[in-house]
């Protein structure tokens, strides 16, 4: 069984998944820092980080382009860069890269429909996260990519996004709309004409015309998008990728985590390690000698709480032969590199 250090030293992609409020973003950053300071070239991709993460990494801000994080004394060629996903910026760059010429790119980027798709359509944010992952992996600039995904339910969308895009590109209505010379009036397929007329009555002819203009401008770019989607899914299901579940020892978060593990398993992906954050600390082996004493009463309560947490985790992880890391609640919020490094040591046991 690989340890978390083995995973950080040997894999090319580590994807942190889990419930909201479990400290997943901080754990992602700590794993990236640990790998970088041990000599790997690491990129940390965050989806929706709190402002304090940039502070914790010693950066004024995070953007869609990787920014170097100042490290003290990394081993070998170790380095760390971090970025915050800008879904629309990534989509814009993708369109420009796959367009036949600048004119086609401009027709798409100036489309009202494209503006709506790139900023508000469900799944776009997650798909662009996959695209950014593909871009960074294909660059060859990094040994390891650490990805901080959205909370549990959205993280499933993160994994499903490439499949949903492929279904859209294979949809009969899309194929009719992108057929050369076939607009709303001249669509060869009568079913498509009827569907478009119905849509026009419901949401307005102008909106439908904008959509048709966008799809026709998009014509010829489908294969590139589809191939990239397939490549990312292949990467995430390969032995080079590892999924790390971040949770807390509570019944509600463990129920969500169990659901998520099952969903991943259904997609052919196994969890490589589990990190349980904010555990009640273990106070040496102190014995409770006088339960009526205020200090001993507090100690007894904490010991009981930790025992209950351990029991929950043991029951949850018993069927799994993977590293299980219990991270105690640290005495300070993760707001700078020293506290982030402290969290990294708790996770890796360094």
What is the tens place of the pLDDT at every residue in 11-49? 999 999 887 788 888 999 999 999 999 999 999 998 766
CA 28 to chain centre: 10
pLDDT the model gives residue 172: 47
| Range from 141-145, 264-268, 303-307 carrying the lowest mean pLDDT | 264-268
Beta pairing class for 324-328 and 271-279? parallel
Find which of 24-28, 48-52, 217-221 is predicted with most confidence, using mean pLDDT. Answer: 24-28
Tens of pLDDT, residue by residue over 102-142, are 888 888 888 777 777 777 665 677 777 788 888 899 999 99
Beta pairing class for 79-84 and 67-68? antiparallel
Kindly state the average pLDDT of the residues 324-340.
84
Distances (CA, A) of 339 to 125, 147, 211, 270: 30, 20, 49, 30
Q: Which two tokens stand for residue 131?
A: 């695209």
The number of beta carbons lying within 10 Å of the beta carbon of residue 269 is: 19
Q: Going by C-beta distance under 8 Å and a sequence separation of 6 or more, which residues neighbour residue 329?
A: 278, 279, 280, 281
Q: Which helix (H) or strand (E) holds 87?
A: helix 87-98
Query: Which residue is associated with the tokens 């026709």?
Result: 216
Judge whether 270 and 244 are in contact, CB under 8 Å: no
Judge whether 40 and 143 are in contact, CB under 8 Å: yes
pLDDT the model gives residue 167: 60
Q: Would you place residue 307 in the very low, low, confident or very high pLDDT band (cuts 50, 70, 90)?
A: very high
Query: Which residue is associated with the tokens 């890796």?
Result: 348
Find which of 55-59, 88-92, 240-244 is predicted with most confidence, using mean pLDDT. Answer: 240-244
pLDDT the model gives residue 300: 81
pLDDT the model gives residue 182: 45
Cα 156–Cα 15–Cα 87 angle in degrees, nearest 5: 65
Q: Which two tokens stand for residue 224?
A: 């590139």
Q: Quick one: CA dihedral 318, 323, 327, 333, positive or negative? A: negative
Judge whether 238 and 296 are in contact, CB under 8 Å: no
Top pLDDT among 68 and 121 is at 68
Strand partners, 244: 16, 273
Q: What phi and psi values does residue 88 have, to the nearest 5 degrees?
A: -70, -40
What domains can be seen in the chain, in order of their start residue? 4-97+126-154+240-348 (3.40.50.300)
pLDDT the model gives residue 66: 93
Find which of 22-31, 181-190, 209-218, 254-263 is predicted with most confidence, using mean pLDDT. Answer: 22-31
Tens of pLDDT, residue by residue over 244-274, are 999 999 888 888 888 888 888 888 888 999 9
Strand partners, 326: 276
- What global pTM score does this model have? 0.81
Query: 284 — alpha (psi -120 to 50), left (phi > 0) or beta?
Result: left
């Amino acid at each position: 069984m690989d340890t978390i250090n083995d995973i950080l030293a040997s894999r090319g992609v580590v994807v942190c998944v889990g419930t909201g409020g479990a400290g997943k973003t901080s754990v992602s950053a700590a794993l990236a820092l640990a790998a970088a300071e041990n000599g790997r070239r690491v990129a940390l991709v965050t989806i929706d980080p709190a402002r304090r993460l940039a502070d914790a990494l010693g950066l004024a801000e995070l953007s869609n382009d990787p920014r170097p994080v100042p490290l003290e004394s990394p081993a070998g060629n170790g380095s760390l860069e971090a970025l915050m996903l800008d879904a629309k910026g990534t989509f814009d760059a993708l369109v420009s890269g796959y367009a036949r010429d600048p004119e086609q790119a401009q027709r798409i980027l100036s489309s009202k429909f494209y503006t709506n798709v790139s900023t508000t359509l469900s799944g776009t944010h997650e798909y662009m996260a996959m695209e950014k992952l593909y871009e960074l992996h294909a660059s060859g600039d990094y040994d390891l990519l650490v990805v901080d995904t959205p909370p549990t339910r959205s993280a499933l969308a993160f994994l499903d996004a490439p499949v949903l895009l492929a279904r859209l590109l294979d949809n009969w209505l899309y194929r009719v709309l992108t057929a050369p010379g076939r607009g709303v009036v001249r669509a060869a397929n009568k079913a498509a004409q009827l569907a478009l007329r119905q849509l026009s009555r419901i949401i307005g002819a102008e909106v439908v015309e904008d959509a048709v203009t966008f799809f026709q401008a998009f014509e010829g770019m489908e294969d590139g998008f589809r191939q990239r989607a397939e490549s990312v899914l292949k990467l995430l299901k390969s032995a080079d990728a590892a999924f790390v579940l971040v949770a807390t020892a509570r019944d509600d978060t463990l129920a969500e985590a169990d659901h998520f593990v099952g969903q991943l398993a259904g997609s052919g992906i196994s969890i490589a390690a589990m990190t349980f954050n904010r555990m009640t600390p273990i106070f040496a082996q102190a014995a409770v000698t006088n339960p009526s004493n205020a200090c001993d009463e507090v100690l007894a309560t904490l010991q009981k709480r930790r025992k209950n947490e351990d029991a929950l985790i043991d029951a949850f992880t018993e069927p799994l032969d993977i590293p299980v890391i219990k991270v105690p609640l640290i005495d300070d919020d993760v707001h700078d590199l020293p506290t982030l490094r402290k969290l990294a040591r708790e996770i890796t046991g360094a």
